[in-house]
């Protein structure tokens, strides 16, 4: 069997004060959210050798379980201190940077973007006890090319974008566009782009078993002549599939743990992986002479149609997603 690498990404966000309000006005909904977060490390404890999960958690959500008064309020429901400690297990979890208040970054003023991202880095470093976050999760997958210089300046190595908005700059098969890392360039700055498979991510969010997932991954990647990276990204605390407290109807019991059991027994071609580890092992920069090939741009979408023109000479009046200079990364 040819190995198919799988990067699982889960996003967690609650607005400031929302969990407190739910505890007051709709306690069961607050319990479901807290249980969904707490269930994740508990479901993966025994699979530390094979489980790999990328986490994106907004700053407003991180500050809630870190608050001493909130911890006292939910004592007996979830032990917040233990939860935050378990999420620091770097054998299972890799934490992605994001925006503090979960902003759709292309829609907020350019002057505010760095503050939103820097503030998240502050609480992320404090809560998770590390100084470097290599991956970036754009809230609501709202990304535009103008963000690349800022992300590079803040130390990020790669950004995750949606497959529907990736535009290859040279001919490539759809499998290559979706299942290989790429480089996108804006001015003199370039960023590795990791492509989320939207169809498989939709299935992950709505409900699937491991057998269906393995078959779909096989069919999607069977023509790949390179080690494919299949990236699925969804919310981890919304919807009945992740909130369901029954082991007969939630993601971890029906899909994740059975899949990890097959991975451990080498009964599947799927291999969970951290994106950083995949890049370290498989990223290449093929070129034809001095001519780069294989680069991508981020296509115009509802959130970045009105992005101001960049400051690259000669770019005035051209659409935002068409201003990047291509540079290969795969």
pLDDT in tens, 189-243: 999 999 999 999 999 998 999 999 999 999 999 999 999 999 999 999 988 899 9
**DSSP class per residue in 148-201:** HHHHHHTT--EEEEEGGGEEESS---HHHHHHS-EEEEETTEEEEEEEE-HHHH
Query: What was the pLDDT predicted at 328?
Result: 40
For residue 269, which of 49, 7, 2 has the smallest C-alpha distance? Answer: 2
Query: What was the pLDDT predicted at 248?
Result: 85
Please, which residues bridge with residue 183 across strands?
A: 192
Query: What was the pLDDT predicted at 284?
Result: 64
Give the whole-angstrom CA distance, residue 264 versus residue 86.
22
Q: Which residues, 6+ apart, have CB-to-CB distance to 180 below 8 Å?
A: 195, 226, 228, 229, 294, 330
Kindly report, residue by residue over 273-290, the tens digit of the pLDDT. 999 999 999 976 544 333
Q: Residue 327: which pLDDT band, with cuts at 50, 70 and 90?
A: very low
Separation of first and last alpha carbons in the chain = 23
Query: What was the pLDDT predicted at 301?
Result: 58
Read off the pLDDT of each residue in 178-187 and give the average, rounded to a whole number. Answer: 93
Q: Which domains does the chain have, with CATH numbers?
A: 4-322 (3.20.110.20)
For residue 328, which of 155, 159, 161, 191 has the smallest C-alpha distance? Answer: 191
């Amino acid at each position: 069997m040819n190995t198919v690498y799988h990067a699982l990404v889960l996003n967690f966000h609650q607005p400031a004060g929302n969990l407190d309000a739910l505890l007051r006005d709709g306690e069961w909904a607050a319990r479901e959210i807290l249980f969904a977060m707490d269930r994740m490390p508990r479901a993966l404890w025994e699979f530390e050798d094979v489980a790999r999960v990328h986490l994106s958690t907004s700053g407003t959500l991180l500050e809630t379980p870190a608050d001493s008064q909130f911890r006292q309020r939910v004592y007996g429901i979830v032990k917040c201190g233990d939860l935050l400690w378990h999420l620091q297990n770097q054998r299972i979890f890799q934490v992605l940077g994001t925006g503090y208040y979960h902003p759709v970054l292309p829609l907020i003023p350019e002057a505010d973007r760095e503050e939103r991202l820097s503030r998240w880095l502050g609480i992320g470093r404090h809560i998770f006890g590390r100084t470097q976050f290599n991956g970036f999760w754009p809230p609501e997958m709202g990304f535009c090319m103008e963000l690349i210089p800022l992300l590079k300046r803040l130390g990020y190595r790669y950004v995750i974008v949606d497959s529907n908005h990736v535009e290859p700059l040279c001919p490539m098969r759809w499998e290559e566009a979706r299942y290989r890392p790429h480089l996108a360039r804006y001015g003199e700055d370039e960023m590795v782009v990791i492509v989320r498979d939207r169809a498989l991510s939709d299935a992950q969010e709505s409900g699937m078993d491991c057998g269906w997932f393995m078959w779909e991954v096989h069919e999607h990647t069977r023509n790949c002549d390179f080690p494919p990276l299949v990236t699925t990204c969804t919310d981890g605390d919304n919807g009945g599939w992740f909130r369901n407290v029954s082991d007969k109807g939630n993601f971890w019991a029906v899909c994740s743990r059975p899949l990890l059991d097959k991975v451990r027994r080498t009964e599947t071609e799927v291999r969970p992986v951290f994106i950083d580890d995949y890049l370290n092992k498989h990223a290449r920069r093929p070129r034809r002479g001095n001519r780069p090939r294989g680069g991508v741009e981020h296509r115009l979408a509802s959130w970045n149609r009105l992005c101001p023109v960049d400051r690259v000479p000669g770019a005035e009046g051209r659409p935002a997603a068409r201003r990047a200079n291509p540079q290969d990364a795969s």
